[in-house]
Chain A
Amino acid sequence: MIGIILRRLAQLPVILLVIYTITLTLAWAIPGNPLENPEGRQPPPEVIEQMQRQYNLDSYPRFYWSYLESVTGVKYARDWLGGDIAQAAQSATDAGTAPPTRYIFDFGPSLEYDDWNVNEIIATSLPVSVALGSAAIVIALVIGLGAGIIGAVKPNSLADLATLTVALVGISLPTFVIGTVLLLVFSVLLGLFPVAEWGARGAVLPAFTLSLPFAAYIARLTRMSMMESFGADYIRTARAKGVSESRVILKHALKNAFLPVLSFLGPAAALAMTGSFIVERVFTVPGMGQHFVDGVQNKDLFLIMGVVLIFATMLILFNLAVDVLYRWVDPRIA
C-alpha cells in the first residue's frame, strides 16, 4: 500500500509539469494584453513595455522557465542562498516597517489586482471553497445514498419515482436557477439565512445548491449498483441464512454498491472544493471558482496558472485518496 502511495506521489510532479505546459500554452494564446484595461484610462505604452519585461510577458520561453522556477521554489532557494532575502528583511527592519513577504512556492503577482499576489488570493479563497465543497459533498452523499437505497429497495414505487424525478431535476436544472429560487425563498422572504455573508449560516444554501447535481448523480449510481448487487449470489445467500433485510441492505449490498460512488467521489470532491463560479456568484461566496473565470477573462496569466495548478494538485491527491480508500474498503483490489 505504501509503495503504491509513494509511486503515485512520485508521478505527481511529472503530471503537474505536463498540465503546466499545456495550460500555459493555451493561456498564452488567449488574445489581448493583460496589462491593458478593458476600458478607461490606459497606462502609457512605455510602461506597458516595461511591465511586460518585468514579468517576462514578452517571451514565452522566458516566462515558462522563470515561472517554473518561482513556483517550484528554486528561485526562493537561490535568493536565500544569495542573501537577498535576509538583506531585504534587514533594510525593512531598519526602516521600522514589516519586511516584504516572500513565498517559497511563489505563484507570482496578479496582473489584474494591483495590490495582490496569487498566493494571497489562493490563501484567502481556497479555505472557503474547501469548506463549501466538503459540505456540499457530505450533503450529496447523505441525499444521494438515501435516495439511491430507497429506489433500489422498492424499484418503481412512488418513493423511487419521486427520488428519480428529484435526481433528474437536480441534474438538469442549472444551479443559478435553483440557487436564485432558494435565495429568494429562504433568505429574502423567510429571512432564515443571511445574504452576502460567508459563515456557518451563510454556507447552508450555497452548499445545498452545490450538492444537488452531485447528489443526483450519486443517487443514480447507488440505485443502479444496488439493484445489480440484489441479484448477486451472495445476497441470496445472506437472505437464505435469514439475515435481516436492513442488514442485507446496509452491510452486504451497500458495501459493494458503494464502490462506484467512491470512485466518483475523488473528482467530485476536487471539483466541488475548487469552487463553482455560478454558486459563488449567486450567493456571494468568496471562493476560488470566480478566479478561474476572471483569470481567463482578464488574461491574468499568473492567476490562471495558480488556480489551475492548485486544482490539478487537488484532483490528483483526491484520486489518490480514493484509490487508497478503495483498496481498504474492497480488499479484492489489493
Chain B
Amino acid sequence: MARVLTPLILLVALLAIAMVTDRPRPPADFAFANGSDINTLDPQRMSWMPDLRVGRLLHEGLVKHDVLSSTFDVVPAVAESWTVSNDGRTYTFTFRDDAKWSNGERVTPDDFRYSWRRAMLPDLASDYFAMFMFVEGAQAFYDQRAADIAAYAERPAEERTQESADALWAETVARFDATVGMKALDDRTLEITLAQRVPYFLDLCAFTVLAPVYPPLVEQYEKPDAASGRLLRRPGWTKPGVLVTNGAFMLADWRFKREVRLEANEHYWDRASLAIDSISIPSIPDPNSEVLAYQTGAVDWVSDVTAGYRGDMIADKLAFRAEHADRVAELEAQGLDPFEIDRLLPDDPRKNVHAPSAFGTYFWNFNCQERLPDGRDNPFHDARVRRAFAMVVDKKTIVDNVRRLGEKTAGVLIPPGSIGGYPNPTGLPNVGDAKTPAEAEKIVADARALLAQAGYPNPATDFPITVELVFNKDSGHDLIAQTIAKNWQQHLGVPVSLSQKELKVYRDDLKKKRFITSRAGWYGDYGDPTTFLDLSRTGDGNNDRGYSNPAYDALLERAASEPDPQRRLNILADAERLIMEEDVPMIPIFHYAHVMMFDPQKITGISAHPRMKQYASLVDVLGDGKGPDQPRTMHDGSRNTNPRSPVPTGELSSASETEGVP
C-alpha cells in the first residue's frame, strides 16, 4: 500500500513546491480589466488601445490632456509652459524642474530628442512614425536613413563590419543633430520646428507615442547590426526592475498574460495628486470572464466590455434610467456628467454599466468611381443617387433594434461635441428621424425624386445594377446589412444582394475598390476634424470609396493654410457639409459607444468625454481613506462655448496659438 501511495505523495510534494514558489500578491488599491495582455511598454512602438491605456500611466509627454474637462484641454506635463511662434511652426517648451525619471534623474530635452529620433528611424518600425514627420527635416532624415541602409546592404560582405555599421550610425546621429528641427536650447528648453503649421500639434504631443524613453537604458538594447547596418532592437528593457519611466506610475511587476502591477512613482512631479498608490491589471482574455471578474469584485473597472450580451446589459441600464426619469432629467438640467448622474441615483447593480459615445463612426461606403469593378457604368458615381440611398436607410432601427447599445444615430461623420469649437453640419434628412409617417413618406418621396432626376424614374425596372452590400461576417454586420438592404428594396424598389466575406478578403476588396457598397468605420486618431475628413481627400490611402471632388480638396487646402483657428474650423465644417449633405460618399449610420463597467459610487475619475481617453492615475476610490475621496467629475474646459452644456462640447484644444499656460 505504501508503494502504491508513492506517486500520490510525489504529486502532492510537486504541488506544494509550485504553490510555495508562486505566492499571490496583496490586493492593489485599484484593479482594472484591460483585455488579454499588453503587447509592449515601449511608447514608440505602441498602437493598441490596451497598450496605450497602460502606457500613459507610465510615460508622460511634453503635455497631456485634461480628460475631465469638457473641452479636452491640453495641460502642462513635462513642459510647464510653452510658446508658439506667429507662423505656428516653432514651439518652445520650458521643462519643469521637478520632472523626474523613476530613478530620480531629471527629464531633459535631449531625452525627447533621443526618443523622437528613435521613432523617425525606419529601423524601429513605429506604427505611428508618420506622426513624427511633421517635424522639419524628419521626412528627409527618414528617407536618407532608409537609402543609407539600402546602400549598406549592397556593400560586399567584407566591408560590412561592426566598425562600418557603427560609423554609419554615427553619421545618422550627426545628420539628425544638424538637420531635424529639434534643438535643446539649454537643459530646460526644447525648441521644435515643424515643416508646416500643424494646428493640432499640441494634441499630438499629448499622445503617449511621443513620450520619452530613458536613453541610457534603451541604448543598451539597440545596437547597429554589422550585417544590415540597421539598429537591432532587442527586448528586455521594459521589464520590472529594469524599466525607467517618467509617468505617474512605475512598473512594479509584469507577469506575462497574468498581471501588470503598477506603483506610484515617488519621483513624479505631481505625486501629491494621486489618490491610489497601486494599480493591478490582471490579464483576462475572455470577454465574459471580464464581466464575471467585475461582478465578483476582482476588478473595479472593465475598460472595454465586449461580451456578447452587453446589449442586454445596456437595455437593463436604460430601463433603470427610465425608472428614474424625473430625477435623471433634473440632474441633467444641472449640467452633470453621466457618471455623476449615475452616482447620485439610487444604488442598483444595473447602473454600473456605461456606454458613453466614443470618437468613432460606423458608416456605409459607396463606390464613387465612374466604373464598377466589372467595367459597367456605376450609377453611384452620381451624387444624387447616393443622396437618395442615404436618406432611406433607417438608422434609428439599426441603433435601437440591431445594435442595442444606446448609440446615437449619425447624420455626419465627426461625432458631434467631440471637437470643441467645431460647428458640426446637420447632415441629410433621414427616414428614421421622421416624427410622423407623413414626414417619412415625404423623405422617401424626395429620395425617389432624386433618383428620377438621375434618370431612374422607376428604379425597380430601370436601375441598371443589383446593389451589392459587402460586409465581413463577424460582429453583427450581417444584421445591419440586412436592414439597409431591406430599406433600399422597400423604399426605392431597387434589387439588392448581400455579400458576406472573410475579414481579410473584405479588407482586400475595400482597398482594391472591388465593391458597390460596403460597411466601414473609423475612429479618430487625434482631436482635429481632419482625422475624419482626410478619408475623403482625393487619393488618400484610406479613401476606399474612390471619391474625388476638387472643391472638397480645395476646402481642405484652404483650411490648412488658414491661421485663425476658428475660421479654420468653419472651413472644415463646410468641407464636412459638402460630403455629408451634397456628395455623400458614405452614409454615416451611428457613432460608436464605448461600453465599460464600474460602480460610480465607488470609482471616480473616469472621463465621459467622447475622445475616450482614460488616465487611471486620475482614479480615486471613494471611501478607501486615500486621496481626497471626493467625486472627480467632468468640469468646464478653458474655452467652453456653451457653459450649460452637459459634458462634451469639446474644444480644439491643440489650436492654441498663444501662451499655453492655463
Contact = CB atoms under 8 A, between A and B. Distances in A.
B157 interface: no
Contacts of A43: 125, 127
Contacts of A270: none
Contacts of B344: none
B228 A98 contact: no
Interface in B489-522: 503, 507
Nearest to A95: B216
A165 B45 CA distance: 54
Interface in B404-425: none
Interface residues of B, number: 70
B197 to A, nearest CB: 26
Nearest to B219: A95
Interface stretch (B10-18, B345-353, B444-452, B546-554): B10-18
Nearest to B12: A138
B137 interface: no
Nearest to A41: B127
Contacts, number: 180
A47 B22 CA distance: 39
B7 A265 contact: yes
Interface in B213-262: 216-217, 219-221, 225, 227-228, 230, 232, 234-239, 241-242, 244, 255-259
A329 B4 contact: yes
Given A109-B235, A117-B236, 6 more contacts: A43-B125, A115-B41, A115-B42, A131-B15, A138-B12, A197-B298
A183 B289 CA distance: 10
9 contacts: A46-B150, A53-B228, A124-B256, A125-B256, A197-B293, A198-B24, A200-B24, A286-B255, A325-B7
B220 A121 contact: no
A52 to B, nearest CB: 11
Contacts of A329: 3-4, 6
Interface in B70-90: none
A251 B286 contact: no
Interface stretch (A59-67, A187-195, A236-244): A187-195
A101 B236 contact: yes
Contacts of A114: 39-40, 42, 45, 235
Could you say which interface size class chain A belongs to?
Answer: 35 or more
A172 interface: no
A100 B236 contact: yes
A255 interface: yes
Given A47-B122, A286-B258, A117 B235 contact: yes
B122 A92 contact: no
Contacts of A265: 7
Contact of B292 (A39, A117, A187): A187
Interface stretch (B108-116, B277-285, B477-485): B277-285
B615 to A, nearest CB: 22
A288 B108 CA distance: 42
B274 interface: no
A308 B39 CA distance: 23
A43 B124 CA distance: 9
A113 B234 contact: no
B436 interface: no
A205 to B, nearest CB: 12
B216 A97 contact: yes
A125 B125 CA distance: 29
Contact of B19 (A96, A200, A255, A321): A200
Contacts of B331: none
A72 B561 CA distance: 62
Interface in A131-190: 131, 134-135, 137-138, 141, 183, 187-188
Nearest to A273: B14
Contacts of B33: 196
A96 B216 contact: yes
B296 A116 contact: no
A115 B40 contact: yes
A100 B220 contact: yes
Nearest to B14: A134
A254 B4 contact: yes
A255 B3 CA distance: 8
B443 interface: no
A120 interface: yes
